[in-house]
Structure 1
Amino acid sequence: MRRAHTVGATLLKVHAHGTETWGWQGRTLSRRADGRWLRVVARPKDKTPGATWDGYAHADGLLPRSVPRPRLHDVAEWTADGHRYRAELSAYLPRPALATGGPVLGTDVDLPSSWWADLREALASTAAVATTRTTVRQQWIDRHFTRLLGIPAPAIAWTTGHGDLHFANLTGPPLVICDWEGWGRIPVGFDAGLLHAYSLLRAGTAARIRRELAHVLDTPTGRAGELVALAQLLQVTARGGHPDLAPHLARHAERLTAMPVP
């Protein structure tokens, strides 16, 4: 990946420097590059690129400019060593993410009402974008929802959303929403539910999320989408991910369903 990052910098005619930022399981590597941000993603050459491969470019072209996000400047693709690589040069954000070390929030965040208003507006603007990109699949819900939560799967209302909303992908103030590689069709309430679930270790912030996003979370359709988000995270914790978060997820799911988590 380090060699690939150097190749990407050469192709896009920038000089990479500064601290390395690694993505999930080393699939991506990012660094500063001449005042911008150079991200390189890899996948085996024999695997067809999925929706996350060019999600940034689709977001840059389809989302309204009112949705605050890093702008994409240039892209390069190549193959080497049995892998396909994609380099994306985007705007550098001087402010760090509101959570560090992963998506689970470890310390409370104190954000002004204006930041929350901007988040609500950004999510509403994203919801209005028509796309065939799929982030959450009905097939996954049909297969796993009842197994993970112990209740029948509800009817789902669909919308367009970020799909990986947590404070490690948010900065501010001012608000900027990062990591658009997986955006697409999601259940209504999924983004809000995911942000809340990843914040359950910090009761103050979790309560603030429920107040600020009550217009979604406190509706039947929003509650259904929140349960899908919880089910997905319960699957992650069942496989050993986020062990500190696991009991909080189970308790919250039981509060919402009035049923013990299987």
Structure 2
Amino acid sequence: MTLSVPSARAVDLRVEPVDDVLDRVERSLQVRVDRDTVIRKRRSVGGRTDRGTWVRVERRSFQRIASQGGNGPETAAVLRGVVMPRWRAGLTWRDEHEPVMWRADETDFVTGKPVGQAALVIEDPRLPDEWWTGLNASLDVLATQPTPRVATPDTDSITQGLVDATIRPVFPEVPNLVIDEWTPAHGDLTWANVMGPEFCIIDWEDWGTAPRGLDAATLWGNALAVPALADRVWDERRPDLESRSGRLMALFICAKIVGPYAHEADPRLWPAREKATRLVGELQSF
């Protein structure tokens, strides 16, 4: 029997009032959040504290918690050899009026800035070689540490069914979409979630098992507006991206860009169409 989980209303924390939420976090964690440093995203809010740490607060629906849980940053704290902010403390509470949970995590403050202010980049960030070394070392070691969690890119649990439903309507000519390799992944490795110029990965709420190559394909797809950067990602993560699963993940990302929600102003659109043609040909003969 499948239990029904109530749905929560869609909320954008970039415009939703959050002062009461931050007040509660401050009281519980005994910190003060500098309101001048607060960064608001669609489903999370973060800011620097008076003890030199960072607090990130996320609103998560019961439906998402039922499928994955709500403690991604805490569970990621046990990962070894991955460059990320050190986790210090967490706080969770149930909303009094809606079927959602609020989760606050306090971590070390990371200097530097996200490489991209949004998921994609439209200018070459000119990352140093040391940055790429850090990326490769972190993704390689992450893939060796199994977890029962399932990654949730774009808040959806990544299953074989999701891969089929994303790729098949856009590229029906690919004969076989079965994923043959699954490994732990960050799950939301956009350019907004990697720091520079010193490498670090932030925002671990979506991490879990995923098809091999998901993280590399996410970075690559969101760099397509900067061909040299996209090529660098492909070269650095070639073992992942040129595996059969990795090619499918690259096509998975292309399908999201060129599929039914494609936007003609998206600078990734035409490069993604070109790359998708190549990937389809490769997968037809793989």
1:85-234 correspondence runs (5 A) = 85-100=102-117, 102-135=118-151, 136-150=158-172, 151-156=174-179, 157-234=181-258
Deviation above 6 Å: which 4+ runs of structure 1?
none
Structure 1 range deviating more: 240-249 or 103-112:
240-249
Structure 1, unaligned stretches of length 5 or more?
Answer: none
Deviations 1:120-175 (A, max 9, x none): 11101110111111122111123332112222343311111111112211113431
Write the distance in 2 (CA, Å) between the matches of 1:251 and 1:116.
Answer: 26
Write the distance in 1 (CA, Å) between the matches of 2:135 and 2:254.
Answer: 21
Q: Tell me the secondary structure at the aligned position of residue 185 of structure 1.
A: strand
Q: Partner amino acid for 1:140? A: L
What's the Cα RMSD here? 2.3
Deviations 1:189-233 (A, max 9, x none): 111111110000111111111221222223333212322333344
**Structure 1 residue 57, shift from structure 2 partner:** 0.7
Q: Partner amino acid for 1:141? A: V
Write the distance in 2 (CA, Å) between the matches of 1:171 and 1:48.
Answer: 27
1:252 and 2:275 matched = yes
Distance 1:54 1:234, change over 3 A: farther
**Structure 1 residue 240, shift from structure 2 partner:** 5.7
1:75 and 2:90 matched = yes
Write the distance in 2 (CA, Å) between the matches of 1:154 and 1:48.
Answer: 25
Over the matched positions of the two proteins, sequence identity in percent amounts to 27
Write the distance in 2 (CA, Å) between the matches of 1:199 and 1:67.
Answer: 22
Q: Partner amino acid for 1:186? A: A
Q: Tell me the secondary structure at the aligned position of residue 174 of structure 1.
A: coil
Structure 2, unaligned stretches of length 5 or more?
Answer: 1-17, 152-157
Residues 142 and 153 in structure 1, CA contact (< 8 A), matched pair in contact too: no
Q: Partner amino acid for 1:19? A: T
**Structure 1 residue 247, shift from structure 2 partner:** 3.2
TM-score normalised by L of structure 1 = 0.87
Q: Tell me the secondary structure at the aligned position of residue 68 of structure 2.
A: coil
Structure 1 range deviating more: 29-38 or 82-91:
82-91
**Structure 1 residue 47, shift from structure 2 partner:** 4.5
Q: Number of residue pairs matched?
A: 252
Q: Tell me the secondary structure at the aligned position of residue 22 of structure 2.
A: helix
TM-score normalised by L of structure 2 = 0.80
Write the distance in 1 (CA, Å) between the matches of 2:114 and 2:121.
Answer: 11
Distance 1:203 1:91, change over 3 A: same
Query: Which residue is equivalent to 1:5?
Result: 22
